Amino acid sequence: MNPRLAVISPGQNVYTETFIQAHKNIPGMDVYFYYGDHLPMMLEGRGELERHLWKSALTHYLGRMLGSGFTDRREDALLRSFKKEGINCVLAEYGPTGAKVLKVCKKAGLPLVVVFLGYDAAMHAILKTYQQPYLDMFEYASKVIVVSRAMQRKVHELGCPTEKITYSPSGPHERFFKNEPGFSQKLFISTGRFVDKKAHYYTILAFNEVLKKHPDARLVIAGDGTLFNACLNLVRFLGIEQAVSLPGAITLDQFADHLSAACAYVQHSITALDGDMEGTPVAIMEASAAGLPVVSTRHAGIPDVVVDGETGWLVDEHDVKGMAGKMLRLLEDLDLAKQMGARGRNFIRETCSREQHLDLLAATIREAVVNFG
């Protein structure tokens, strides 16, 4: 009989979180997807956990009178849902989610597996707020999954025992391995939210240097976010609107189409002033799986999936001139770009495919269920 797994995520269908959507398909699991904050309010396919608010409030009041220990009626609702659905294990997406559902897992007597994905192991405010809750969570959790080697070290520093930490990057969608790179255009492609750690403005500045030698080159940066207008204004200020396209959020198919025509994928990730960092960017793995070389930075989990000088090029954070030089190198030597892209596809397939990631998660969850208690 398949384990009944509760996957808990703050969001339901966030377009940048394809790795979380993949966790709905962990092999050999009956997955129940809870969402709507770190302490979830919704169950996909069922609706709101507190549909009968008067009943929930009464149950919560009686529970407190009888000493349930809960101070939030959402905890009561989540506990009742776990019992109703016969949940065997909880997979929490992001560290704060694991910390928030810890009390319910303890009350229900359920094993907890937590996935750290980026900001949750890096942002100063998060680490300050969750210092003690993380320690409590690490003590109880069966396993903690991290998506980069840098995060593996960080989570250990935060107090998680080494034996509980498992490294597993999320892996690209399988469809990208079927892409046939054409290298038919002088096109660079990038995608991701317009936020500080993505630093798309540095990519634009690097591409502006490329345009000085190749005025017919083009750059597409897909996504949206708080820095979108700032980057759009930078493009206008530089007078390169004809060469740079910022189409907003795009679908997986549209991204694949761009990869089929481009000569390289580019992403200038940095550590933001608030400490925010990447995990291991899925878009970079998708680009490599599609057969494109990658130009990026020595940041977080990126060196885990881009072999510098073999499957792409890595430069230091904030090194705009260095990034421009590597972009020019690939643009002017398509044979090299094709060789790097082919090596990148093989590297991703062999080391961090999504199938490997999901199989590891399945084994981890089964082990947690069997060994819990």
236 Cβ contact partners less than 8 Å away, ≥ 6 residues apart:
none
For residue 111, the domain's CATH number is 3.40.50.2000
Q: For residue 366, give the 3-state DSSP assignment.
A: helix
pLDDT at 67 over 60: no
Q: Binning pLDDT at 50, 70 and 90, where does residue 53 land? A: very low
Confidence at residue 286, expressed as pLDDT on a 0 to 100 scale: 97
pTM (predicted TM-score): 0.92
Q: Are residues 211 and 234 in the same domain?
A: yes
pLDDT at 61 over 60: no
Beta carbons of 313 and 297 less than 8 angstroms apart: no
Q: Are residues 191 and 340 in the same domain?
A: yes
Q: Are residues 151 and 296 in the same domain?
A: no
Q: Let me know if 339 is exposed, middle or buried by CB neighbors in 10 A (0-12, 13-18, 19+).
A: middle
Q: Are residues 178 and 271 in the same domain?
A: yes
Edge-to-edge strands of the sheet including 264-266?
Answer: 244-248, 218-222, 187-191, 264-266, 294-297, 312-315
| Amino acid code (one letter) for 133 | P
Q: Are residues 182 and 154 in the same domain?
A: no
Q: Are residues 199 and 223 in the same domain?
A: yes
Q: Binning pLDDT at 50, 70 and 90, where does residue 70 land? A: low
Residue for token pair 């057969």: 291
Token output for 176? 């990208």
Kindly tell me the sign of the dihedral angle through the C-alpha atoms of 231, 236, 239, 244.
Answer: positive
pLDDT at 59 over 70: no
Q: Are residues 39 and 114 in the same domain?
A: yes
Q: Are residues 78 and 224 in the same domain?
A: no
pLDDT digits (tens, 9 = 90+) for 177-236: 999 999 999 999 999 999 999 999 999 999 999 999 999 999 999 999 999 999 999 999
With pLDDT > 70 as the criterion, what percentage of the chain qualifies?
94
Q: Binning pLDDT at 50, 70 and 90, where does residue 16 land? A: low
* CA 161 to chain CA mean position, Å: 23
* 95/145 Cα distance (integer angstroms): 10
Confidence at residue 373, expressed as pLDDT on a 0 to 100 scale: 72
- Domain membership of residue 31 as a residue range: 4-169+354-371
Mean pLDDT over 323-343 rounds to 98
* 63/270 Cα distance (integer angstroms): 47
Q: Are residues 196 and 334 in the same domain?
A: yes
pLDDT digits (tens, 9 = 90+) for 338-359: 999 999 999 999 999 999 999 9
pLDDT digits (tens, 9 = 90+) for 264-281: 999 999 999 999 999 999
Q: Binning pLDDT at 50, 70 and 90, where does residue 17 land? A: confident
Tally the domains of the chain. 2
Mean pLDDT over 57-84 rounds to 71
Beta carbons of 190 and 301 less than 8 angstroms apart: no
Kindly tell me the sign of the dihedral angle through the C-alpha atoms of 173, 179, 181, 186.
Answer: negative
What is the overall mean pLDDT for the chain? 93
Q: Are residues 145 and 192 in the same domain?
A: no
Q: Are residues 42 and 163 in the same domain?
A: yes
* 208/215 Cα distance (integer angstroms): 9
Strands 47-48 vs 42-43: parallel, antiparallel or unpaired:
antiparallel
Q: Are residues 135 and 85 in the same domain?
A: yes
What letter would DSSP give residue 188?
E
Confidence at residue 54, expressed as pLDDT on a 0 to 100 scale: 45
First to last CA, the chain: 20
pLDDT digits (tens, 9 = 90+) for 91-148: 999 999 999 999 999 999 999 999 999 999 999 999 999 999 999 999 999 999 999 9
